[in-house]
């Protein structure tokens, strides 16, 4: 379930392959020799345009991809072999998972997994009674029977688990989070968008709590919040509490997120990603509070700052007062947190007109 190149001091007269408890290793001294041999064989077969033994091609491309998964030529050969039925799609799913254990931020690996589903797996699991291929123009599947739906669910949760593993292995793993977003967009309707949003919202919060500098993880949370809000606005769900427990409205959701974000800012100082995410929340919350004609988002006059109740919009005024308090606390520090507080104050003045 894992692969890596193991450093070695020099050539030793023994097998360079290490296999311990399902962990595969390859001693570094042999990598350049074997890779050069396999690479030359692949290019010779490709340039000569001859039909090489598929078994040999599988071995050569498999090794080369374990070492250099960024090379598109190797993936194109694998795609050809999959289309011809020379290799099973499940085999390539296992191979890509093994590659990601060594290079968790490799974009080409995630692209190949997407291709395997949209071009192979999706068309294989679906067999309509009339023989037609029920794939729409966006490569999404239509109605499936319960057995095939369960297969898709299993694939979905496998991909989500893989994305979590790769995100933990490499910080700010944009490609991993982008793949997770794609998985949600493609397969959420198989288990219900409400259920998957509830699950992912809880998972995302837990993950961000221990990865406070992750811009990519926070961006994914922003996507989830936008989806949840659209579900509520479109009346797809009767009560927001079905997705986010103990939250009755969208405004309360954003206020809860601001509180969660502030706790992280005060607990883990000097992380700009948290301030960027906070600005997203403030913009969304301002749009909600200002959507009604009788409401105003202008800050209260100095004479009326004694009580939020005395302002035209008490909720938004309370938010602004909270931002002032947060900025003042940041200014009292002598670390990078002070600079972040100054930037946040400038943003508030320019954008929110605080």
Tell me the domain boundaries of the chain. Answer: 192-354
pLDDT classification of 186: cutoffs 50, 70, 90: confident
- Interval 12-18 mean pLDDT: 82
- Least confident span in 54-68, 154-168, 224-238: 224-238
215-220: average pLDDT: 96
pLDDT, position 47: 80
Asked whether the predicted pLDDT for residue 215 surpasses 90, the reply is yes
H helices of the chain, where? 31-48, 54-67, 72-83, 89-102, 107-115, 122-125, 146-169, 174-187, 193-209, 215-233, 250-267, 272-289, 314-331, 336-347
- What is the arithmetic mean of pLDDT over 251-279? 96
Tokens 């190949």, located at residue: 112
pLDDT tens track for 153-184:
888 899 999 999 999 999 999 999 999 999 99
CA distances from 245 to 198, 241, 249, 277, 316 (A): 9, 5, 11, 22, 23
Q: What is the pLDDT of residue 48?
A: 72
More confident residue, 109 or 194: 109
What distance in Å separates the CA atoms of residue 96 and residue 65, rounded to the nearest whole number?
9
- Res. 108: pLDDT tops 70: yes
pLDDT level of residue 120 (50, 70, 90 thresholds): confident
Residue of 282, 264, 279 lying closest to 213 (CA atoms): 264
- Distance (Å, whole) CA 130 – CA 244: 42
Q: Is the pLDDT of residue 92 over 80?
A: yes
The confidence band for 224, taking pLDDT boundaries of 50, 70 and 90, is very high
Q: Residue 106: which of 152, 70, 73 has the closest Cα? A: 70
What pLDDT score was predicted for residue 168?
Answer: 94
Q: How far is CA 154 from the centre of its chain?
A: 18
Task: Give the model's pLDDT for residue 286.
Answer: 92
Q: Report the mean per-residue pLDDT for the chain.
A: 85
pLDDT of 130 higher than 50: no
Least confident segment among 142-146, 214-218, 247-251: 142-146
Look at residue 254 and tell me whether its pLDDT is greater than 70: yes
Which residues 6+ apart lie within 8 Å of 38 measured at CB? 59, 60, 61, 63, 64
Q: Supply the pLDDT for residue 297.
A: 55
Confidence of residue 236 (pLDDT cuts 50, 70, 90): confident
Question: Which percentage of the chain shows pLDDT scores above 90?
Answer: 58
DSSP class of residue 29 equals G
303-323 pLDDT per residue, tens: 444 343 334 478 888 999 999
């Amino acid at each position: 379930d894992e692969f890596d190149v193991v450093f070695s001091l020099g050539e030793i007269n023994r097998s360079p392959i290490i296999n311990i408890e399902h962990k595969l290793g390859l001693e570094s001294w042999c990598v350049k020799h074997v890779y050069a041999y396999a690479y030359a064989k692949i290019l010779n077969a490709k340039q000569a345009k001859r039909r090489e033994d598929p078994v040999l091609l599988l071995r050569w491309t498999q090794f080369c991809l374990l070492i250099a998964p960024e090379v598109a030529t190797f993936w194109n050969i694998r795609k050809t072999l999959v289309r011809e039925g020379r290799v099973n799609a499940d085999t390539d799913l296992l191979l890509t998972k093994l590659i990601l254990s060594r290079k968790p931020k490799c974009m080409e690996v995630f692209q190949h997994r997407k291709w395997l589903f949209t071009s192979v797996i999706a068309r294989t699991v679906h067999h309509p009674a009339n023989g037609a291929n029920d794939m729409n123009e966006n490569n999404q599947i239509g109605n499936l029977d319960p057995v095939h739906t369960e297969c898709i669910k299993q694939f979905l949760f496998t991909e989500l688990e893989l994305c979590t593993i790769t995100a933990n292995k490499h910080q700010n793993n944009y490609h991993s989070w982008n793949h997770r977003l794609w998985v949600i967009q493609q397969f959420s309707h198989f288990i219900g968008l409400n259920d998957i949003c509830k699950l992912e919202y809880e998972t995302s919060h837990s993950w961000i709590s221990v990865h406070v500098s992750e811009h990519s993880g926070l961006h994914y949370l922003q996507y989830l919040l936008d989806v949840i809000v659209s579900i509520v606005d479109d009346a797809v769900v009767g009560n927001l509490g079905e997705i986010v427990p103990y939250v009755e409205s969208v405004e309360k959701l954003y206020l809860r997120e601001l509180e969660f974000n502030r706790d992280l800012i005060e607990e883990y100082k000097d992380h700009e990603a948290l301030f960027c995410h906070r600005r997203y929340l403030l913009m969304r919350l301002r749009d909600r509070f200002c959507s009604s004609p009788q409401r105003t988002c202008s800050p209260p006059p100095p004479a009326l700052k004694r009580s939020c109740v005395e302002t035209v919009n008490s909720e938004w005024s309370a938010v602004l007062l909270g931002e002032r308090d947060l900025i003042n606390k940041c200014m009292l520090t002598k670390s990078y947190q002070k600079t972040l507080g100054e930037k946040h104050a400038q943003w508030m003045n320019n954008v929110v007109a605080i």
